[in-house]
Amino acid sequence: MNSGYDLSSSTYSPDGRIFQVEYANKAVENSGTAIGLRVKDGVVLALEKLVHSKLLVPGTNRRIQTVDRHIGIATAGLLADGRHLASRAFDESLNYRETYRSEPPLSAIAERLGLYVQAYTLYSSVRPFGISAILGAVDKDGPALYVVEPSGIYYGYNGAAVGKGRQLAKTELEKLKLSELTTREAVFEAARIMHLVHDDSKDKEFELELSWIGAETNGLHLPVPKDLFEEADKKGRDALDADMED
Amino acid sequence: MDHFPGTHWGKPRNDNIDAYGTYPLHAHQPRTDAFADGVQRTQQPVVTGASVLALKYKDGIMMAADNLASYGSLARFKDIQRASGDMADFQQLKHILDTLLIEQFVQDDGHKFGPTEIYEYLSRLMYGRRSKMDPLWNSLLVGGFKDGKSFLGYVDLLGTTYSAPTLRNWVWRYIAQPLLRKSVEGREDTLTEEEAVKILEGCMKVLFYRDARSLNKYQIAAVTEKGIWISDSRSVETEWAFAEGIRGYGAQTQ
Amino acid sequence: MSPISQPTSVAFNPYAENGGTILAIAGLDFAVVAGDTRQSEGYSIQTRYAPKVFRLTDKATLAVNGFAADGNIFVKTVKQRLEWYRHAHAKDMPLRAIARLIQTMLYAKRFFPYYVYNILGGIEEDGSGAVYSFDPVGSYEREACRAAGAASSLIQPFLDNQIYFKNQVAVSGTSHPKHLPILDVLSLVTDSFTSATERHIEVGDGLEIYVIVASGRSLTELSSIAGIEEVTGSASATDRVFVIRRELKKD
């Protein structure tokens, strides 16, 4: 069908596309949703981790990872690729510190990761990353949010969504006045959106992952504490039930 | 171009080895440094930082340090370090330790370094550097509190280590250590916070009178179960009027 | 006068001398290894309690003396090698093998030596008490007794006289004993250290005496010693290790 133009990312199709990169995007589209909110005084990352087996220990295989004290990463797509990219981001962050002896701004890390991911679209010997990564941080310029895609392209966002439920999530994010929300309020919105976009009838069960960076965490990227998590999780679930009754 | 992940793919580029990223790593000849013979390692410290006193008391450990040179403190979790010696080496030390702590933070596995782990790491670091004949020119006091136990340890540029109820560094050993030992030894478990502060204040006063290098301005820090507490800069009341009456030294005219 | 100018600054000296003294005496079926606990540099006492004698296995203890940083790292490395041996062979390394290991490790740093004198004491595979002494670069021999460190020149002649009976003539028709009873040995150790404390400024504060006893030997004499503490590592060990702690003068 694609006449062999999709076998390597080092070959263009006649109309100038690189099919391997597009297939990588498919891997992202089929995975659980991840969202990021850049608000007034912080950043919130949320992720829908689809649980493929009841035998898995809850809370293990976290998909939101920490890159530096102030930087978090949520990935949608192939979990192993997400792990590798987070590890690379960590190395880059230490390398930045080694060179400049200061906390890396998220823009620098996003740029380096963009270059790195792009390199995997150039050669026949490798496959592109099957992930989109949402990076969140509070750095010297305040809250920051970036998405790195399989092509290596990266943009800064106020609100970002990747994975299966991204369309609905984006619609919900657009309704919010992100620049006026506090980080704590954003935790509740994030939990609500994750419950909203999860398709109970089609999808497997999911585990919600929530992390935040803001004044309340002292600028550190940390998982949302248990009590707040449970409150936000419950409210998100209740909002969904109320919605259904309407 | 290197088409194969596993050599330099997955590692940040190192400009010292391959500034333009042109060769696969296995094809590298390590560059010999034409100036290698001229490279000098620290032979003596350039800037000397603060001097430090420390003691154990009932609730944990307490330290005092003067503000003579600008110096840094490290405060992570429930332990602190104070150091004196070469400021550049101290900043390097701080950077290495900070990197270690970030590594641990991103791991997010629930493990945390306590004062003993930090102390062991620093000791190995200092000994490793002296064994390379490239020492970090500092003496360090590590104090902390974890699981109901207080810890106080010393390590210097030779990698020499020891623990004791009272510690101090450099010239202060001749003046402050006897004072500290007299008031602390054998009473580590009963000394109250007020008594500990009083002892340190007393030492600081004597030091300011007798040690030309210390400044009449210092800070006190305590590490207990509750965490770290660092005081504002304070000074001791000193009285110099008696100097008028002293004869036989200096340039008196009569 | 040489026309070549001499360097004026002194290069970094990676060594220090941290005082203290150690000694070990081998009995027929036991060994005693002791050291004071003072650590000093110049005229300053750094700490009154820095152990110099370490239990390696249930049949071996090691005393290190000299440059404390080297000594501590050396002991840690020996312990690590013994643990690896345990993982590979499911038993403790025999004493004479530990002795050879130590010589290899010391000589490996022949051109940047560990500035430490080592004395290894314990029980051999044949059940006899043994003492091995080393110089900093690995030369070693098995002996009946050895003193090392700051006050070695005070203690060694005393031991030569009391253990080897040098300069003593046995009453005609009798001979000097080959091995001394354990309580006599412990008295000699205590006397050695109290005397060294009097006459050497770098010796004092505390005394730690390790006693390694071969399996099958009666422990009745030991049980009479005040404050003796058993520090045998494994419950199934046949040889046993004890430690006796004593105060020394602190001035």
**C121-154 residue pLDDT tens:** 999 999 999 999 999 999 999 999 999 999 999 9
Residue B34 has pLDDT above 80, yes or no: no
Q: What is the mean pLDDT of residues A46-73?
A: 94
Q: Are B144 and B61 in contact (CB under 8 A)?
A: yes
- Please tell me which residue, C205 or B23, carries the higher pLDDT value: C205
Nearest CA in chain B to C39: B162
DSSP single-letter state for residue B234: B
Per-residue pLDDT for C237 more than 50?
Answer: yes
Is residue A1 predicted with pLDDT exceeding 90?
no
Return the pLDDT at C136: 97
CB B176 within 8 A of CB B213: no
Predicted pLDDT of residue A89: 98
Query: Which pLDDT band, with edges at 50, 70 and 90, does B73 fall under?
Result: very low
Q: Do B12 and A126 touch (CB under 8 A)?
A: no
Q: For the domain A19-245, what is the CATH superfamily, name and number?
A: Aminohydrolase, N-terminal nucleophile (Ntn) domain (3.60.20.10)
Residue C157, H or E segment: helix C152-162
Which of these is catalytic: B42, B99, B161, B190? Answer: B42
Residue C3 lies in a domain: no
In whole angstroms, how large is the CA radius of gyration of chain C? 19
Identify any residues that bridge with B80 across adjacent strands, giving them in sequence order: B75, B143
The minimum CA-CA distance between B4 and chain A, rounded to whole Å, is: 7
Nearest Cα to Cα of residue B143 among B134, B129, B155, B130 = B155
Contact B165, B143 (CB under 8 A): no
C-alpha–C-alpha distance, residues A156 and A109, integer Å: 12
Whether the per-residue pLDDT at A110 is higher than 50: the answer is yes
Amino acid making up residue A51: V
Do C and B make contact via 3 or more CB pairs under 8 A? The reply is yes
Task: Please judge whether C69 and B133 are an interchain contact, meaning their C-beta atoms are less than 8 angstroms apart.
Answer: no
Distances (CA, A) of A184 to A190, B221, C137: 10, 34, 65
pLDDT of residue B68: 45
Residue B254, pLDDT score:
52
Query: By three-state DSSP, how is residue B178 classified?
Result: helix
Residue A241: pLDDT over 90 = no
Cβ pair B106:A94 closer than 8 A: no
Q: Identify each DSSP E strand in chain C by its residue range.
A: 21-26, 30-36, 39-41, 44-47, 53-57, 60-66, 116-123, 129-134, 140-143, 145-149, 206-213, 229-230, 240-247
| Nearest-neighbour CA in chain A from B116: distance (Å) | 23
pLDDT of residue C227 exceeding 90: yes
What pLDDT, on a 0 to 100 scale, did the predictor assign at position B53?
A: 81
Contact list in B for residue C67 (CB cut-off 8 A) is 158, 160
**Has B48 been annotated as catalytic?**
no
Local confidence band at C1 (pLDDT 50, 70, 90 cut-offs): very low
What percentage of residues in chain B have a pLDDT greater than 90?
17
Binary contact (C16, B158; C-beta < 8 A): yes
pLDDT of res. B205: 81
Q: Which residues pair with C130 in a beta bridge?
A: C122
How large a percentage of chain A has pLDDT more than 70? 99
Flag whether pLDDT at C191 surpasses 70: yes
Higher per-residue confidence, C1 vs A229? A229
**pLDDT 10s digits, C32-62:** 999 999 999 998 888 999 999 999 999 999 9
Average pLDDT over residues A90-105: 97
Mean pLDDT over residues B202-215, rounded? 70
**Per-residue pLDDT tens over the stretch A15-49:** 999 999 999 999 999 999 999 999 999 999 999 99
Confidence of residue A146 (pLDDT cuts 50, 70, 90): very high
Distance set, CA B30 to CA B16, B33, C168 (Å): 10, 9, 67
For chain A, what is the mean pLDDT?
A: 95
A19 contacts: CB under 8 Å, gap ≥ 6: A2, A5, A6, A9, A13
Range scoring the smallest mean pLDDT among A50-54, B152-156, C9-13, C112-116: C9-13
Confidence band for B75, pLDDT divided at 50, 70 and 90: very low
Give the strand pairing for B218-224 and C129-134.
Answer: unpaired
Say whether pLDDT at B173 is over 60.
Answer: no
Instruction: Kindly tell me the number of DSSP H helices and DSSP E strands found in chain C.
Output: 5, 13
Could you report the per-residue pLDDT of B49-63, keeping only the tens digit for each? 456 788 888 888 888
B72 pLDDT more than 50: no
Q: Which residues of B touch A68 (CB under 8 A)?
A: 102, 106
Residues 6+ apart with CB under 8 A from B243: none
Task: State the pLDDT confidence band at A210, using cuts at 50, 70 and 90.
Answer: very high
Q: Where are the domains of chain A?
A: 19-245
Regarding pTM above 0.90, the answer is no
Quote ipTM for the complex. Answer: 0.90
Q: Of all residues in chain C, what percent carry a pLDDT higher than 70? A: 96
User: Residue B172: what pLDDT?
Assistant: 54
What domain count does chain C have? Answer: 1
Judged by a CB distance cut-off of 8 A, whether residue B133 touches chain C is yes
Q: What is the pLDDT of residue B48?
A: 46
Per-residue pLDDT averaged across C174-180, rounded? 94
* Chain position carrying tokens 């949302």: A224
Is residue C222, in this structure, part of any structural domain at all? yes
C-beta atoms of A123 and B3 within 8 A: yes
**What is the maximum alpha-carbon separation in chain A?**
57
How many Cα neighbours within 13 Å face the side chain of C197? 20
| B220-242 residue pLDDT tens | 888 888 888 888 778 777 777 77
If pLDDT is split at 50, 70 and 90, which confidence band does B69 have?
very low
Domain assignment of residue C162, yes or no = yes
Distance in angstroms (rounded) separating the CA atoms of residues A110 and A11:
26
Please check whether residue A206 is in contact with residue A177, taking contact to mean a CB–CB distance below 8 angstroms: no
- Where in the sequence is the domain holding C211, given as residue range(s)? 24-39+47-247
Which CATH number fits the domain that encloses residue C216?
A: 3.60.20.10
Q: What integer is the mean pLDDT of C12-21?
A: 96
